[in-house]
Amino acid sequence: MTPTPKPMNELERALQYPLGEALPETGRTLEVAPGVRWLRMQLPFALDHINLWLLRDEIDGRAGWTIVDCGITNDATRAAWEQVFATELQGLPVLRVIVTHMHPDHMGLAHWLTERWNVRLWISATDYNAARLASTSTTGFGGEAAAAFMASHGLTDPEAVAKIKARSNYYATMVPQVPAAFRRLLDGMVLTIGGHGWQCISGYGHAPEHMSLYCTALGVLISGDMLLPRISTNVSVFDMEPEANPLQLYLDSLSRYESLPDDVLILPSHGRPFRNIHTRIRQLREHHVDRLAETLQACAEKPCNAFDITSVIFRRQFDIHQLTFAMGEALAHLHALWHRGELVRRVDDDGVVRFTKE
C-alpha cells in the first residue's frame, strides 16, 4: 500500500519537491536520478519512516548496487529488504553498505546486510566506534547514567526517570551487533560509485561524525539527517559529553553545504526529496535563532533547567522516546548560550543544573 503523504507546513511550501507527493511502497523503489533509487522503511516511532538509497555501482569490474543506510533491526525491515532484493536489484548483488551515521534507524541492519552479501561497511571511524560502544552500553540512550543526567537537568518525575532507567538496552534492541570491520569515510573523500564521484561532507552536532554524500555529475546530495525538509534535525547533549556544545557544531556544519548549487536534489533521511538548499539552510538557521531567543528570554525571567526549556521551545506533550530528545535539544540551546557567555550555569542545592541570564 502506498503511504499517504502528510500536508505541507508553511516552511515546506518554500521548497521544491520534484517528485510531487510520490512515495515508494514498502519493499519497492522509485528512481530519483539516473542509477539512484529511493526506498522507504517503517519506524515504530512518531517519526514513522526512514528513507534509504540504492546506487547503481561497479567495483573491480563487478556490477551491482551500493546501499546507503539500513533501517532498524526488526522482522518487518528485514522482510522489506528481502522484497527489495527479490524485485529491485535487476538480478545484481549488493557490493557495499554505506552508513551516514550511527543512529539506530541508519545503522541497525548494517551487520545483517554486510553478512548477507559478504561486503564491507563504509562509515566514519567516529560513528563506527560510537555504534560499537552504544550497542554494548546504551550510553546516552537510556539506563542509570542517562536517567541521572536527565534528573540533574530537571527531569525528576519518578515515572519518567524509571522509564529511562529501564531502557538500558535501548540502542542494542535496534542495533544488536555492529560489523567487525569497516572502511573509513573521511571529510572530502571522493568515492567512485557507478562511474561518478561522490564527495563525503562531514557534519557535526546531530551525530559524532555524520557523512553526507554529494555527486556533482548527478546534482544529488544524500543529506542523511543533516538537512531535512519538514523538521529540524535533533541536536542533543548526552551524558557521556555533559558540557558539549552540539548546536554550535551543527550550525557551523551547515556552512559546508552553502557552496552547493541551489538546484541540487537533496535526498533526506526523512521526508521527501527536495530542492532549494539555500532556502532550507536559512530556515534552519532562523529556527534556531528564534529558539535561542526564547531560551534566553526564559532564563532572564527566572533560572531555568533543561526540562523547563522543553515547554518553552516545543510547546507540546511528548512520549518518553520524544522527551529524551526534547531534553537533549533544550540543553543544547542552553549550552550554546552558556558557551557564548550569555548565560551563567550553576548547580543548585537540589543537585539540578540551572541557567540564568548574565
- Residue with more model confidence, 339 or 140: 339
Residue 354 domain flag:
no
In a domain, 116, yes or no: yes
Number of domains forming the structure of the chain:
1
- Would 4 be classed as within a structural domain? no
Question: Residue 196's CB: how many other CB atoms inside 10 A?
Answer: 20
Establish if 301 belongs to a structural domain. Answer: no
pLDDT at 141 over 70: no
Q: Which residue has the cell 558557551?
A: 339
Residue with cell 534528573: 151
Q: Assess if residue 132 is contained within a domain.
A: yes
Domain that holds residue 219: 12-294
In a domain, 253, yes or no: yes
**For the whole model, what pTM was predicted?**
0.95
Whether 345 is in a domain gets the answer no
* CATH number of the domain enclosing 236: 3.60.15.10
pLDDT tens across 196-224, in order? 999 999 999 999 999 999 999 999 999 99
User: How many other CB atoms are found less than 10 A from the CB of residue 302?
Assistant: 10
**pLDDT for the residue numbered 358:** 75
Based on the number of CB atoms within 10 Å of its own CB, is 122 exposed (0-12), middle (13-18) or buried (19 or more)?
A: buried
pLDDT for res 169: 85
Residue 172 placed within a domain: yes
Name the least confident of 8-22, 56-70, 240-254, 278-292.
8-22
